[in-house]
Structures are given as C-alpha cells and as structure tokens.
Amino acid sequence: MSLAASDQVAGAPRPRFDHDAIVIGAGMSGLYQLIRLRELGLGAVVFEAGTGVGGTWYWNRYPGARFDSESYSYGYSFDPELLQEWSWSEHFAPQPETLRYLNRVADKYDLRRDIRFRSRVAAAQYDEVARGWTVTLEDGSHHACRFLITAIGVLSAPTWPRIEGIGSFRGQSWHTARWPREPVDFAGKRVAVIGTGATGVQTIQEVAKTAGHLTVFQRTPNWCAPLHNRPITEEEQRRIKASYPEIFRRCQETFSCFLHTPDPRGTFEVTPEEREAFWERLYASPGFGIWVGNFRDMLTDRAANREISEFIARKIRQRVKDPAVAEKLIPKCHGFGTKRVPLETNYYEVYNQPNVLLVDCRETPIERITPTGIRTSEAEHEFDIIIYATGFDALTGAFDRIDIRGRDGLALKEKWAGGARTLAGMLVDGFPNMFMLLGPHTALGNIPRSIEYNVDWVTALLRHMREHHLTFAEARPEAVAAWMAHVMACAEGLLTFEVDSWMTGVNRNVEGKQTRTIARYAGSAPAYRAWCDAVAAEGYRALTLA
C-alpha cells in the first residue's frame, strides 16, 4: 500500500498525490534510492533530465574520463549477487564501462519503468496544507508528492567561463560535462583545452595522443600524481570477488571511504630518508594513496605540506624536459593536496610533445573567444575545436538551478545565500519532507559509499515515519545549528580551507560564488555516520516529526 493512501491525517481531506515520492536525478543516488523506495512499498517516480541513467557517468563522456578510485571500491555494495556478476576490466575503469554498469543495474532492477527521461525539474514548491511537494518540470507539467528527494549530485551543474565572445566561435566547442555521444576525431585538428582540474588533466592526456596540435590554457596549475592504472588480471578478478566483504569493510573504516587512509605518523616523526622512501612508494602506487594515505599532518602543518609539495615539484621537474614549462606546471599559490589531486597517466610528459603548447593564463590572460579561436593578451590562436574543462557550480549549484521553495514560499537559494546550512547535508529547516542525497555537508570521498549511507538513512527515516503514521519531517533549527557548529569545527586548521576551489565554494564563473565558505564537510566518514546514526537512535529528536 502506498504511504500517501494510508497516512491520511484524521479529519483532513485526503491529499491527492501523484506519487509518494519524487526523486530528482537517475544517477547513482537516484537509482539506489528508487530500489529502496520500492522495497518500502512506496510509489515513486524519478525525473531525469538526460535520456538515460547514470548521472555523472551519463554526462561526463569526455575523452579520457575514468575513475580515480579503485573500480572495486566504487560499485554498489548492497547486492552481493551483482558484485559477483559484474567484472571490472581495469583497476580504474573508463567512463563507458561505468555507464554500462549503471545501465546493468537499471536493467536488473527494472528501474526504467519508474524513470521519466528528458524531464528536467524547473521548480518544487512545498504545500503546507497537503504536507507535500508540487514539482514542476520544464515542460510545465505539475506532479504532486509527499516526499521530495534530491539526487542531483555534487558536481552536476557545469559552468562555462565568463569570457567575451564565447558564442562567436565558428568551430566545434563543448563543455566536458556536455560531451556529444558521437566520437570526436582529433586527428590533424587544432584543439584548445581550457582548464586544468581533474577533468582537464584526463582530457588533455587523451587528446594529446591524436590531436594535430593541442594548446592547453592553464590559469592555475594543479598538483597531479600518477594513477598507475592497468587491466585486472583473471587471478586478481577472482581475488577481488572473493574479498568484497573486506573491501567494503575497509571503505567503512577509512577517513573518506577510499581504500587508502592517512598514515598515523607525522611528517617530521620519521627521518628524511624514511620520508623520502615513503613518498617514493606512494608516488609509485596506484590511486589516491599519495593524497589520502599520506602523513596525517599533511593538510594541517604548513611545514609538512611544504615538504610534500617540494617532493612533487621535484617529480614534475624530472618529468618535464623544458624547465620553464615545468615551472609553469608547478603550483605556487597552494600546497599539495589542498585541492582535489588530479590523477594522471603521462600528463606531464604531454608537455614534452612537439604538438603541445602550454599557455599560462596568468602571464597572458585570455581576452576573448573569436570566430576562429582564442585571443590572449599576447597572441591570436586558431582552433578547430575548443574544449571547456572549466568545472562546475559545485555542491549548491544544482540546487540553485531549481526554484525550490519551502514553507512560506522561502526560496532555498535565498536561504543559502550566505552559504548552505543543512542538517547532515540531508535536511534543511523550512523545507519539510525534502531529503537531499549528497547535499552540501555530507561526507564526500569515495562517493558511492556516501550515497549508499545517505539513501539508507533517508529510507530508515521514511520507514520510521510509516511505522508511526507520520507525514511531516523537518530539521529543527537548533539541530541545524549544532550540526553546522560541528562542520565548522571540523574545518578548523585545515589548509584546504585557505584555498579557492570548488571545495571551498568558489567558482569565479558564477555570480555570488567568489568568496570562500565551509562548503564541504571535512570530518571523517565514520564521524559523519556516527552523528547521523545518533540522530536516528535518539528517535529523530533533531527533527520535528508529526
């Protein structure tokens, strides 16, 4: 029986909902939430802007897109059968494979029958009388539900650079997060890439393989480290499949749900030789170890951070032949790991190729996009293709793009104007019956692990509400204040928060996002889960339930 049909408030007219729950987004969170809602017996629909499932992995089909976390730590953990059925081909799987995987999940659970594709949500309005939400799609249709669940991702609102003339270019141009389905042939073409974040790095190293000429426009260099990807052998495949319980147990225990976790030693508690040997080992190892498995004080102690930054700078100097180019590629304004570390495969060697040019936008800023290319303060560059790897309006951007209005018509965008305030990234006071999966201030890291936890937490709350015949859930302001105090405390002393990046809520291409905020929860995933588990264990006293 559906919740909407069974939970009528005594004496009140039966609210007429089209669905018990509406989920926005058919990415990893939306798919898993739909499975759990069905298990609860709730009638749910998922509205998805794209034409297929996959979210991040549907949209980000740019050349070279792949996992930066180990494939076998990334998939869903909730279905042991699926874990045995699916074989990842590489330690860090490429995007087409991940998209195939998510389609396989959608097939297995017959999810598409409850997903409306090409359905972009434009607005959502809370209805105080009905205790539910009316969701409006871009086509103007309205859909009423008791519960609104946002599954819109952390990095899903792409941002184009604010450069004059951007619409005037006569060649081909794409944002990496809006990449076409048809393969793009770079052979013999003059290609530009703007942006050198994790996306730009993956794109550049791939495009450089075939482009006639590649020009990279770099505003801020990033500290990158080797991915060390390779195929998974049959023997490894057997071992991985036999050890899934251990793999996921490990992910639950580590700081950010990766297989790697900080080394308990301080940088200066070991001899210089031991330090160097440890870093050499990390640099030669696959994945994020060098970022999240490094000495525990790497992101809190300035001298420690300087040491590791110098180690990585030495690596860049060794790998890039032209010393002047190497210096341009070495960050000077932020230390190693204070931003998300892009993982790379021969990225630095790309700059040794005769067909690749690095343009430093700090020395020679881009002035405008012209019909034939890009004009900097120094030169006119002609291109056939311009690739914008210019990132996202992260964390809150996807929320801002929907006109979400809670009690008294209050707009979420307005409420969050001075920075997002949430209860554990999942609820907002003033926005009853709205639950966010991966909202601001959830523990991020190995994202699917956060997704599964958030979905299970929301599902448990819905189960609790059904068992107690409740139709209203709203975060209490004092609980939000307590959570935000915890978020602030976790951020204290972290070098990460002294740097402009999407993790500190800065995007110079978005109005109103020029100043740093504590946009991201910086505590550990186990601490995050402990906090949320306590809310549930205390009978959800942090929420007003009715």
Q: How far is the CB of 89 from ligand NAP (least distance, A)?
A: 16
Q: CB 56 → ligand NAP: shortest distance, Å?
A: 8
Helices then strands, counting H and E runs in the chain, come out as 19, 20
Q: Which tokens hold the place of 524?
A: 């550990």
* Nearest CB to ligand NAP, comparing residues 132 and 448: 448
Residue 456: burial class (beta carbons within 10 Å; 0-12, 13-18, 19+): middle
Specify the residue, 220 or 309, whose C-beta has the smaller distance to ligand NAP.
220
In terms of Cα–Cα distance, which of 180, 238, 234 is closest to 59? 180
Nearer to ligand NAP, 124 or 395 (CB): 395
C-alpha dihedral, 416 to 419 to 420 to 422, nearest 10°: -110
Bin 540: left if φ > 0, else alpha if -120 < ψ < 50, else beta.
Answer: left
Choice between 267 and 390, CB closer to ligand NAP: 390
Task: State the first-to-last Cα distance of the chain, in angstroms, to the nearest integer.
Answer: 20
Contacts of 167 (CB under 8 A, 6+ apart): none
CB atoms inside a 10 Å sphere around CB 385: 20
- CA–CA gap between residue 77 and residue 96 (Å, rounded): 20
CA angle 385, 390, 394 (to 5 degrees): 150
3-state SS, residue 72: helix
Minimum distance, C-beta of residue 387 to ligand NAP, in the bound complex (Å): 11
Cβ nearer to ligand NAP, comparing 44 with 491: 491
Pairwise CA distance, residues 360 & 216, whole Å? 8
Burial string for 506-521 (b: 16+ CB within 10 Å, else e) reads bbebbeebeebbbbbb
Q: How far is the CB of 351 from ligand NAP (least distance, A)?
A: 15
Residue 530 phi/psi, 5-degree rounding, is -60, -40
Residue placing its CB nearer to ligand NAP in the complex, 101 or 435: 101
Amino acid identity at 108 = K
Taking the complex as a whole, how short is the minimal distance between the CB of residue 203 and ligand NAP, in angstroms?
A: 9
DSSP reduced 3-state for 61 = coil
Provide the CB-side half-sphere exposure for 118 (13 A, CA).
2
φ/ψ (deg, to 5) at 160: -90, 150
Which 3 state secondary structure label does DSSP give 112?
Answer: helix
Of the pair 369, 458, the CB lying nearest ligand NAP is at: 369
| Nearest distance in Å: CB 4, ligand NAP | 37
Q: How far is the CB of 392 from ligand NAP (least distance, A)?
A: 6
Instruction: Name the phi and psi angles at 224, rounded to 5.
Output: -110, 155
CB of 494 to ligand NAP, least distance (A): 16
Distance, in Å, from the CA atom of 497 to the CA atom of 504, rounded to the nearest integer, reads 6
User: What's the min distance (Å) between Cβ of 529 and ligand NAP?
Assistant: 21
- Site for ligand NAP, rule CB under 6 A: 66-68, 155, 161, 163, 194-200, 202, 217, 219-220, 340, 361, 366, 389-392, 502, 508-509
* 123/247 with CB nearer ligand NAP: 247
Q: Which is nearer to ligand NAP, 37 or 420 (CB)?
A: 420
- Closest CB 200 distance from ligand NAP, rounded Å: 5
Q: Which residue has the CB atom at the shortest distance from ligand NAP?
A: 197
Nearer to ligand NAP, 52 or 161 (CB): 161
